[in-house]
Structure 1
Amino acid sequence: MHPDEEDCSPRFPFGVDDAPAGYLLKMASHAIRRDIEHQLRPHGLTPKQHHALTILTLNPGITHTDLEKPLHIEKASVTSLINGMEKRGWLVRKQHPEDARIKQIFLTEEGMQMHKVSVQAVRQAQVRLNQAFSPEENEILRILLRKVVNAYS
């Protein structure tokens, strides 16, 4: 920083070196999410849309209800997300062949193309993270993060 510039960074009662692990996880998560959002934004995508496109690519015909858990959002939010993606032409809803009350969700050709675009954008965001660690450190980090996830599951 230039000596004449004012330091506007937030002040905490601790530095990054002595911050609690939970706080560091939160900081890292926010930084990664911002980078992913930055990579997706030029394509008119959000991280939640990327996640939904990925789930729909892997699970053609999935229902609204089946999307709630992996997307970590409530039913009304799933409906809003799916409605928006349908308006953009990325997916279609079809009646279940055995139960007309159930609507299955399928990606359109345009939706499949948007998924490919979103995957490339997210990969760009992941490059920075991968460059920060050696392959061994990356594996250790993955092991530790899985332990954190499992501790709260």
Structure 2
Amino acid sequence: MDGRSDVMNQAELAVDERLLGLFNRVLEQALRDNPLEDSGITPPQLALLDYVAASPGCGVGEIADGLALTAPTVSVGMARLEKASVVERQPDPEDGRAVQFFLSERGQALHERALTCRRQRVRQLLAGLTPEEEAQLVALLEKAVDAL
């Protein structure tokens, strides 16, 4: 390896390490923040609630695929959310053996509350940026995610 490539690799590694550190800090904070903790909703249950909110009428298999979970894990989580009156199960009109999940009124209210808390957290995260910097950050993150 020539000296120039070695310097380039060191610079890339430094950027990679900084980004990993920043992403880890954001992720750790997100995992610590459970906007529905007082409602007895756990972070994994919140992920299920979010999925049903985004895909009303989804079934266990779809949720499992979408969240990279096993069907039994989803079934247990959905049963707990149903018991807590967060989701409602209805028979699938196309397959009598399958069920579809929808948010209950309580589930919709909890989802809105979680979204509000998340938006507040994003505002805190961006508080030190100008509107132009915010737009630039979003554009760069979108570009990076599109490259995945």
TM-score surpassing 0.5?
A: yes
Q: What SS does structure 1 have at the residue aligned with 2:96?
A: coil
Equivalent in the alignment of 2:26:
29
Higher helix share: 2
Equivalent in the alignment of 1:123:
119
Q: 1:136 aligns with which of 111, 132, 142?
A: 132
> Which whole-Å CA distance do the structure 2 matches of 1:114 and 1:18 have between them?
38
Q: Does 1:149 align with 2:127?
A: no
- 1:67 shift after superposition: 1.3
Q: 1:86 aligns with which of 82, 87, 90?
A: 82
Q: Does 1:109 align with 2:109?
A: no
> Which whole-Å CA distance do the structure 2 matches of 1:105 and 1:72 have between them?
18
Q: What SS does structure 1 have at the residue aligned with 2:62?
A: helix
CA contact 2:52–2:102 (8 Å) conserved in 1 = yes
Please tell me the root mean square deviation across aligned C-alpha atoms, in Å.
Answer: 2.6
Moved over 6 A (4+): none
Q: What SS does structure 1 have at the residue aligned with 2:125?
A: helix
Ranges in structure 2 where 5+ consecutive residues have no aligned partner: 1-13
Equivalent in the alignment of 1:62:
58
- After TM superposition, the structure 1 stretch with the greater mean CA deviation from structure 2, 45-54 or 90-99, is 45-54
Equivalent in the alignment of 2:7:
none
Q: What SS does structure 2 have at the residue aligned with 1:62?
A: coil
Task: Give the counterpart letter for 1:117 in structure 2.
Answer: R
- 1:18 shift after superposition: 6.8
Task: Give the counterpart letter for 1:134 in structure 2.
Answer: T
